[in-house]
């Protein structure tokens, strides 16, 4: 059974917060404002070299155990703090490469191995298309799920809007994109919340009036007439003015989504038959449609592995099953887009890692630094440990508080690398996204 009462309390708090977000929308306006962006709400922006470029952010919610994702199997201390799953029930250590069922996949010349469940990433890594940051996070981690999620998604310790929304504010769109940004799911990620209103898209196939058949055209016509009855000049209610301004915009964007048609993965791509897999498939479909998508977010939960985390083989239990779905979806996305990936970057993040020592319940508790991935156009593959390097040994003296992997790659530096190298932001624009932060490049791009 789950052994973390704090997590249960946080989950209850998170459920309440999610309800309020869904009820209030963005900035307490209307539901329409949560779904459909308007040029009227954008701040003045300068132009970057973002034409045709897309960033997709996948958030592993719950705190993924990085130490069992990318395994320092050549450090004997690893098998002291995490005995091999092959030598006792409840142990979570990933056996070394060649070590039997569930053994790690060797990353030659590094001393590290991949969890076997992320095998779909192996040839991307071998072809220098996948960069792996082993100790991402931030020094002020609270080890609270949604506090750390909020900090990472907002990019500042006390911000009210998200870092991706600030990017949209800082940099103007190229042309008039039908869908410039999208949060996949029924609720919008905090990283996309702010004064630029972004749609939350749960299922592209549901965003259509086509099922109304002959009633479709009259309904659209009636709605346009309805929105036109209350011009902004005669209304004293600011929300009413926004509704009547955004109404036609909403109908136009629904029409744009309808025009995309049903998703049809290419290049033999097979997505997991899960919500996460379908959402990645839909993002790839929007990118291929040429709708001007610059930013999208996708979530995958289930990483809070306090018990029954599992090792690498046989019944992989909690973490292995999650990693299989996670890596399989991303690999399908990569295959699906094919040559279009040269203009796409996908990065992953998680709010924190796990304790170095396994616990008595066959799991791990809240930690600090964890593994993040990035792949796509311009990415320089390899392992990145930060300037201090990965601990030479997992002895207590080399750990944060004797328990945690130290976060040596600041998350804002990682995000900034993407904004500068992929989207071409200059120093002024980057300063609007992360005010007060001095960018120290991680070096994950060529």
pLDDT, one tens digit per residue, over 15-71 is 545 444 433 333 333 333 334 443 333 333 444 568 899 999 999 999 999 999 999
pLDDT digits (tens, 9 = 90+) for 253-276: 666 677 777 889 999 999 999 999
Q: How far apart are CA 66 and CA 370, in angstroms?
A: 5
Structure tokens at 5: 């009462």
pLDDT of residue 40: 37
pLDDT digits (tens, 9 = 90+) for 167-183: 999 998 888 888 999 99
pLDDT of residue 314: 57
Angle at 416 between CA 201 and CA 433, to 5 degrees: 70
Place of tokens 């449609």: 289
For residue 338, count CB atoms less than 10 angstroms from its CB and return exposed for 0-12, middle for 13-18, buried for 19 or more: middle
Q: How far apart are CA 191 and CA 159, in angstroms?
A: 11
Q: How far apart are CA 37 and CA 292, in angstroms?
A: 13
pLDDT of residue 2: 56
Q: What is the DSSP string of 92-154?
A: -BPPPTTSSTTPPEEETTTTEEE-GGGGGGHHHHHTT-EEEEEEEE-TT----HHHHHHHHHH
DSSP 87: G
Provide the pLDDT confidence category of residue 89 given band limits of 50, 70 and 90.
confident
pLDDT of residue 122: 98
Q: 15: helix, coil or strand?
A: helix
pLDDT of residue 8: 66
Kindly report which listed range (198-212, 254-268, 385-399, 404-418) carries the lowest average pLDDT score.
198-212
Residues 119-131 have a mean pLDDT of 98
pLDDT of residue 44: 37
CB 304 within 8 A of CB 63: yes
Give 175's Cβ-side CA count (13 Å radius).
12
pLDDT of residue 46: 47
Q: How far apart are CA 1 and CA 197, in angstroms?
A: 41
Provide the pLDDT confidence category of residue 335 given band limits of 50, 70 and 90.
very high
Provide the pLDDT confidence category of residue 237 given band limits of 50, 70 and 90.
low
Residues 320-330 have a mean pLDDT of 97
Q: Rounded to a whole number, what is the distance in angstroms from the first to the last CA of the chain?
A: 46
Kindly report which listed range (95-109, 236-250, 292-306, 409-423) carries the lowest average pLDDT score.
236-250
Per DSSP, what are the bridge partners of residue 57?
297, 347
Mean pLDDT of the chain: 86
Q: How far apart are CA 62 and CA 59, in angstroms?
A: 9
The residue ranking higher by pLDDT, 406 or 30, is: 406
Element containing residue 181 per DSSP (H, E)? strand 181-184
pLDDT of residue 174: 82
pLDDT of residue 258: 74
Q: For 90, left (φ over 0), alpha (ψ -120 to 50), or beta?
A: left
pLDDT of residue 37: 41
pLDDT of residue 214: 63
Which of 186, 196, 404 is CA-nearest to residue 294? 196
Which of 115, 140, 55 is CA-nearest to residue 318? 115
pLDDT of residue 250: 62
Provide the pLDDT confidence category of residue 158 given band limits of 50, 70 and 90.
confident
């Amino acid at each position: 059974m789950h052994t973390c009462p704090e997590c249960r309390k946080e989950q209850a708090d998170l459920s309440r917060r999610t309800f309020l977000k869904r009820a209030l929308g963005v900035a307490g306006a209307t539901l329409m404002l949560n779904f459909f962006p308007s040029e009227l709400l954008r701040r003045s922006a300068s132009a970057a070299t973002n034409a045709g470029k897309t960033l997709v952010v996948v958030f592993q919610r719950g705190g993924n155990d990085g130490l069992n994702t990318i395994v320092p199997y050549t450090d004997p201390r690893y098998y002291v703090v995490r005995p091999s799953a092959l030598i006792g029930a409840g142990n979570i250590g990933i056996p070394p490469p060649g070590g039997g069922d569930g053994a790690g996949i060797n990353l030659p010349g590094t001393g590290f191995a991949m969890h076997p469940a992320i095998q779909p990433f192996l040839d991307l890594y071998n072809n220098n298309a996948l960069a792996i940051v082993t100790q991402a996070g931030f020094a002020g981690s609270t080890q609270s799920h949604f506090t750390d999620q909020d900090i990472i998604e907002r990019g500042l310790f006390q911000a009210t809007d998200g870092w991706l929304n600030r990017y949209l504010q800082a940099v103007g769109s190229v042309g008039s994109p039908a869908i410039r940004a999208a949060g996949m799911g029924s609720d919008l990620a905090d990283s996309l919340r702010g004064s630029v209103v972004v749609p939350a898209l749960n299922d592209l196939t549901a965003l259509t009036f086509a099922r109304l058949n002959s009633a479709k055209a009259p309904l659209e016509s009636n709605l346009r007439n309805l929105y036109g009855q209350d011009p902004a000049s005669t209304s004293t209610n600011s929300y009413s003015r926004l509704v009547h301004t955004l109404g036609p915009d909403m109908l136009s964007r629904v029409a744009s989504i309808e025009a995309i048609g049903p998703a049809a993965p290419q290049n033999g791509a097979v997505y997991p038959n899960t919500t996460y897999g379908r959402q990645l498939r839909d993002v790839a479909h929007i990118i291929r449609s040429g709708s001007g998508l610059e930013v999208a977010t996708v979530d995958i939960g289930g990483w809070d592995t306090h018990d029954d985390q599992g090792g690498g083989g046989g019944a992989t239990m909690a973490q292995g099953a999650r990693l299989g779905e996670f890596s399989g979806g991303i690999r399908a996305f990569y295959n699906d887009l094919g040559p279009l990936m040269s203009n796409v970057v996908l990065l992953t993040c998680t709010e924190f890692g796990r304790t170095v020592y396994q616990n008595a319940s066959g799991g791990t508790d809240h930690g600090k630094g964890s593994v993040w991935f990035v792949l796509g156009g311009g990415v320089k593959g390899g392992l990145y440990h930060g300037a201090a390097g990965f601990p030479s040994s997992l002895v207590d003296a080399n750990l944060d508080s004797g328990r945690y992997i130290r976060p040596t790659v600041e998350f804002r530096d990682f995000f900034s690398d993407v904004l500068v190298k992929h989207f071409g932001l200059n120093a002024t624009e980057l300063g609007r996204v992360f005010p007060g932060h001095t960018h120290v490049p991680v070096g994950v791009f060529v």
